[in-house]
Structure 1
Amino acid sequence: MSIPAPSDPVDAAAGLIARLTEAHRTLAVAESLTGGALLAALVAVPGASAVLRGGVVAYDTALKHSLLGVDADLLAEHGPVHPEVALAMARGVRATAAVDGAPADLGLSTTGVAGPDPQGSAPVGLVFIAVADARGEVVRELRLLGDRAAIRVQTVAAALALAADRASASRE
């Protein structure tokens, strides 16, 4: 997937927060390579607390299993940079962010390699983002270029766009 030059992440996050607020839906975030940058972009938006449940930074692979419920065998076989891992993270964060037994409406996740070195067989710039809700799941593979910071910024922009698309589709 080709990513356009990132817009201001706060503007993209504000658009997502507005869509979720209008739809009365909640969001939870599970991050790996973005290390909290996605959640920070969302929290920077005034009024985010109306829809944002919270997030988990599962940077260590073991936390993807223990906090988000990603299958240990999946992680052992494929490692943390895999489309099924991204989907499991999105599913898992919905449950982790449950309030009074109700999961978050949308789970959004990021996993990948920002560099400077490859991770196992996964090259620098290979990223998976995913969104899950009660209607289904979507995962996107990204092949990003640039240094570590650029890959992380592009990942945040792509994740916000994916969630906004899902939030818009849910209104129809």
Structure 2
Amino acid sequence: MNPATAAPEAISQRILFVRGYKAMLDAELARLYGVPTKRLNEQVKRNRERFPEEFMFQLTTEEFDDLRSQFATSSSPHGGRRSLPYAFTEHGAIMAATVLNSPKAIEMSVFVVRAFIRLRETLAAHQDLAAKLEALERKVGSHDQAIAGLIDAIRQLMAPPEPKQRRIGFITGENG
């Protein structure tokens, strides 16, 4: 992928949520950095001390099976992946660019970081919007109760008066 087509929007579509982290799979990151996935993973293994768990982790079989429907992979034993993929968080993606030490990897890491930033901003905006909607619902809910009370009072005023009942018993001075 060249920088012209590496818009943060395009890259952010490749960011997944795994174990509570925003992460990219090794194959996607390798494609962006212009290296084979095998080479990326070799460099990571040679520099394992630079990749703590919050930077990079290997998916479990269950996680990989859950994600498999989101991207095309071969399930054949002689094609596609033979090992579980690695997931790289934002910091892991930056670190991967440094261990690859190629001009393209370093150039593309800027776009990857921008994609993570844009995703973080989008999530924050959605959280702000959700909070505002909740406040509006509470406000409208209290208004609904007040309006319902007003409608009940108006209905009571509009109801025809109940007829006066005549008193039962003997009244003197009246002719029956």
Q: TM-score, normalised by structure 1?
A: 0.23
Larger Rg: 2
Q: TM-score, normalised by structure 2?
A: 0.23
Normalized per residue, the structure richer in helix is 2
Normalized per residue, the structure richer in strand is 1
